[in-house]
Amino acid sequence: MPQYKEKSQVHDNLGLLTYPVLMSADILLFHGTHIPVGEDQNIHIEFCNSIAQYFNRTYKCQVFGTVSQLLTASPRVKSLADPSRKMSKSYGKPSGVIGMLDSDDQIRKKVRKAVTDSLGPITVDSETRPGVYNLLQLLSAVSDVDFHELCGKYESENVVRLKNDLSDCLVDKIGPVRNAALELLEDRDHIEKILAVGAEKASNIAERNLDEIYRTIGLK
């Protein structure tokens, strides 16, 4: 897969090679139908469907259905530090990633230092101005304002205004989530109980579905 060739240059391990198979197993075992992943995972969803179709065809059954990719209006957010790559904790600089537990100051600092260019007032061009384009996409995603509408609003404005508005919007969106998460993290026992309940439910579903798979292929 193209992603393996790219990522293996940075992380060369068996987990990276087997990831598409494990991802497919997770989806199919629970009969997932709509998977909320980024645009870059499209090939993995196609791979998952290939496995499902092969199984159904081989054993003349309809155990597995079709899996669809659930995309947002901004299916691929790029790194603030390198707009040629996606925003990811797996590689790249920490300054390029907005974390859900980042403080307001950390968020503002990362956006302020986000890579753009020195071409002057804002113009919308993903090829020549990828950094600015990325900030506009990110603002559209967190503000729920149509991307094209935002482009019209900020065209010919300076990048500083865009960064300030994006910082304000991110702080407003992430702040309540961060505060709630930090409050929950103070009660580890409560979290462990929730995880235990969820694990039991998942185990019951997996066991039932795995039993169906075993019967289909003649192992039971």
Catalytic one of 60, 78, 86, 173: 86
Is 89 among the catalytic positions? yes
How far is it, in rounded angstroms, from Cα 215 to Cα 218? 5
Burial of 185 (0-12, 13-18, 19+ CB in 10 A): exposed
Is 113 among the catalytic positions? no
Among 118, 156, 119, 150, which residue's Cα sits nearest to residue 135? 150
Amino acid found at 73 = A
How far is it, in rounded angstroms, from Cα 26 to Cα 44? 12
Map tokens 């899996």 to a residue. Answer: 67
Catalytic one of 5, 7, 109, 163: 7
Active site residues: 7, 86, 89
